[in-house]
Amino acid sequence: MVLVKTVITYGTFDLFHIGHLNILRRLRGLGDRLVVGVSTDEFNAVKGKRPVVPFNQRIDIVSSIKFVDEAFPECTWEQKRADFERFGASIFGMGDDWNGKFNHFSDKVEVVYLTRTDGISTTELKRVLSAFDERHVDELKRTLDSIGQIVKELS
């Protein structure tokens, strides 16, 4: 009988970027099989997050990654123990921004925290995009004000 070492992880995977890909690649390298719980939009609302990309697209993206053997919906915090059993997971891996938060699962699985990719995060991408949008809105307002002044002068 051949034992398969299954690694499990969870995430929102919004605005999929190289940091996501790197952590999935590294997690897959820890075992023979990688299963990934993708947080649903409803669960993200509970966590206080509002993803830009809808759940059905996020899980499709994650499912399409060659390092991922299976993706499934993450609907609650409490489902993890049942997922470990269901998938036969022996390793539970997360980014080191969660360091220590899942150690209570070490009675069931080996818990590992991997370093994140420097210089990239979904939070930072959203911040940059938000600033980009605000800047352009202000630029548009100034342009409209200028056009308004020209119209007044021509009237």
The question of whether 49 is a catalytic residue gets the answer yes
Q: Confidence band (pLDDT; 50, 70, 90) for 3?
A: confident
Burial class (CB in 10 A: 0-12, 13-18, 19+), 18: exposed
What are the φ and ψ backbone dihedral angles of 89, each rounded to 5 degrees?
-70, 140
- The answer to which of 63-72, 95-104, 117-126 has the lowest mean pLDDT is 117-126
> Which tens digit of pLDDT belongs to each residue from 4-15?
899 999 999 988
pLDDT at 109 over 90: yes
Q: Please name every residue paired with 39 in a beta bridge, in sequence order, or none if there are none.
A: 74
Query: Residue 1 falls within a domain, yes or no?
Result: no
Q: Domain tally for the chain? A: 2
126 catalytic per annotation: no
> Of 118 and 108, which is predicted with more confidence?
108
Average pLDDT, whole number, for the chain?
87
For residue 142, the enclosing domain spans 121-155
In a domain, 86, yes or no: yes
100-116: average pLDDT: 95
Question: By three-state DSSP, how is residue 110 classified?
Answer: strand
Select from 37, 117, 113 the least CA-distant residue to 78.
37
- pLDDT tens profile 75-90: 999 999 999 999 999 9
Say if residue 109 is in the same domain as residue 137.
no
Residues 152, 78: one domain? Answer: no
Catalytic residue of the set 5, 47, 101, 141: 47
* Residue 37 reports pLDDT greater than 80: yes
CA pair distance 60, 26, nearest whole angstrom: 20
Q: Are residues 101 and 71 in the same domain?
A: yes
In a domain, 12, yes or no: yes
